[in-house]
Amino acid sequence: MITINHELKAYTPIFLGTTQHSLRLSLNILIMVGMQLHDEMIETYNVTVSAIALGQLPNIGSEIAIDEITGSELAGFTAKIHQSSAPRQNTVSTELENLIDIKNVGRYQLLKGQNNMTQTLNVPELSNNNLLLIRQLLGVTQQELATAMGINRKTINRFETGEQKISDKFINKLITVYPQLAEAIEVQFDWVSLTFPDLTSKQVITDVLRIQENLFLERQTSQNFYTREMAFAGEKNIYIQDFAPVKNPETQTVEQKFGTTLYLTGKGTRLFEKALLEQNMTWHDFFEKARQYRGHLTRLDIAINDKWGLLNMNDLVKAVQEKRFWGKSKSYAVHGNVDDGWTVNFGKSPFVIRAYDKHKEQASKGYDTDIQNRVELELHGDRAEQVIDHWFEHDDLVGFTFDMLHTYLWFTNESIDDKILKGAMVRETIESNVEPMPAWSLLTVLGHKMKFIRQPKEQSVARIEKWVLESVVPSLAVLKKTGYWPEVIEAMNSAELSAEQQKLVKATMMNAMTQASKHLNINFEKPKKRYIESNEQKKRTY
């Protein structure tokens, strides 16, 4: 028995897998729970639970000790668990200290492909205005900050007036004392597409993705010169395009042309992270394996999620309109409005920087998100490969991402004189002579201290759900109120599904991504089970 929104249900809650995993410490995690009645899966919920109360994750398909679920699709669901894990609670503070063990990000002198990108990457430093903004966002006085940090108030004052330089040691301790700073910004992959010249789509599914082939729907396509498309659960979130086998009219033999492109787009990228998690693989491992199969990146989007609302898109748009910004590329475009949200693009392919109101964008689709704004770095072809090359060589994707952002785009609080824009050493002159926009400056600095995370979210059959809610539910309500509801239930229970519909049900209800491995046993009590992208971090943890 379980209570759902204060209504008692004769359901047995079944654990179907994680829908969130992160490098940053999170005391509240997202999991997928199925409601089982008489061995039939009735419905599924993505719920937020306390990692402390949950303790070690149960095995896929096993019962989970949830007493109550409350919430809605729009606002999200939360669950209460009737068991607690004292050992986990005792390790929370220790894990937080380990999390904020920030390593020196170093300086990048030369980026491969210097003909396409700048020869040097600028590395941001925390300024006095940045610290003042942080204190305002935290809502603390100089004395309160000094007390929490264990230093003299006069030291804080000297930092904020610029009399004394802010050290890395101070920043690291600041994030430890105020852990909400570590939650403010996240970095994750949002779009990944790879071309494999020697593989078929089925080989990509079984050898590269390692997902069950029968969860993909095969259909014809004429997109990108391919003839066949394999789509996970019928959705274009995870899909592979290649050439369908054809019969030689002369020999009557079936011939297969090789060459495929894999697409992980937005939500599909989050879904695929479940498979990576269960294969005990990191993104770093995946890209290494892809290269072993001669996979070449055609597009890579790196998303910077502003969860704190540090940026204000109205301010950014106003700065663009008033020419209070400098970009490596002179190309830019503004779309949207105040009510529906703004989007601003800087640059052209193969490297575009995009900033937009993520919360409003999701709200327009009927979804809710804790991300306020997003800045995306969209890289194509060799530019995307350069990022992965650097990651393999230096093992610091986050630092490198913010160095690129800091180097290629800069906002100011004051107008920039035309003489500066037309002169030599434009960027250096602007930084030396024009006051920066505090929020943008802080984003690039604070971002350096963040961790690369993966945050898979729930699989969705959004198209079916939207159609049912908009077109079917009103008719069902009429049938229910006029006494025809039992016939509807009986018809649904006896309905025969097509092969494609059966695959869709299986992929959705049984949490397809968790089937990549038969055994998932994540113990939150052991730091070695945390997902860590950094090889150097992995060596320390393991």
Interval 194-212: pLDDT, tens: 999 999 999 999 999 988 8
* Residue 3 lies inside a defined structural domain of this protein: yes
From residue 6, give the alpha-carbon distance in Å to each of 9, 44, 71, 132.
Answer: 9, 17, 10, 45
Does residue 378 sit in helix, strand or coil? strand
Q: Which two tokens stand for residue 322?
A: 């008033």
* Residue 216 lies inside a defined structural domain of this protein: no
In 324-461, where does DSSP find H-type helix? 358-363, 382-394, 397-408, 418-422, 426-433, 438-447
pLDDT at 97 (0 to 100): 40
Domains identified in the chain, total number: 1
Q: What is the dihedral of CA 432, 435, 439, 443, to 10 degrees?
A: 0
pLDDT in tens, 282-341: 888 999 999 999 999 999 999 988 888 888 999 999 999 998 988 888 889 999 998 889
* Residue 44 lies inside a defined structural domain of this protein: yes
* Residue 198 lies inside a defined structural domain of this protein: no
pLDDT at 226 over 50: yes
Q: Decide: 269 and 190 in contact? Cβ < 8 Å.
A: yes
Instruction: Report the mean per-residue pLDDT for the chain.
Output: 76
The boundaries of the domain holding residue 68 are 1-96
pLDDT at 520 over 60: no
* Residue 64 lies inside a defined structural domain of this protein: yes
| Of 291, 303, 233, 237, the residue nearest 268 (C-alpha) | 237
pLDDT at 431 (0 to 100): 78
Q: Which two tokens stand for residue 285?
A: 């491992």
Which residues 6+ apart lie within 8 Å of 474 measured at CB?
A: none
Over pLDDT 90: what percentage of the chain? 23
pLDDT at 108 (0 to 100): 25
Q: How confident is the model at residue 448 (pLDDT cuts 50, 70, 90)?
A: low
pLDDT at 380 (0 to 100): 95
Identify which has the larger pLDDT, 520 or 315: 315
Region 268-282 average pLDDT: 82
Q: Decide: 311 and 133 in contact? Cβ < 8 Å.
A: no
Write the burial class of residue 455 (CB in 10 Å: 0-12 exposed, 13-18 middle, 19+ buried). buried
- β-bridge partners, 150: none
* Residue 81 lies inside a defined structural domain of this protein: yes
**Rounded Cα distance, 88 and 101, in Å:** 20
* Residue 83 lies inside a defined structural domain of this protein: yes
pLDDT at 466 over 50: yes
Q: How confident is the model at residue 355 (pLDDT cuts 50, 70, 90)?
A: very high
pLDDT at 348 over 80: yes
Lowest-confidence pick of 90-99, 164-173, 238-247: 90-99
At residue 42, φ and ψ (nearest 5 deg) are: -85, -50
pLDDT in tens, 385-442: 999 999 998 888 888 888 888 888 989 888 887 777 776 667 778 877 888 888 888 8
pTM here is 0.62
pLDDT at 500 (0 to 100): 58
Q: Decide: 34 and 458 in contact? Cβ < 8 Å.
A: no
Q: Decide: 526 and 87 in contact? Cβ < 8 Å.
A: no
* Residue 307 lies inside a defined structural domain of this protein: no
pLDDT at 110 over 50: no
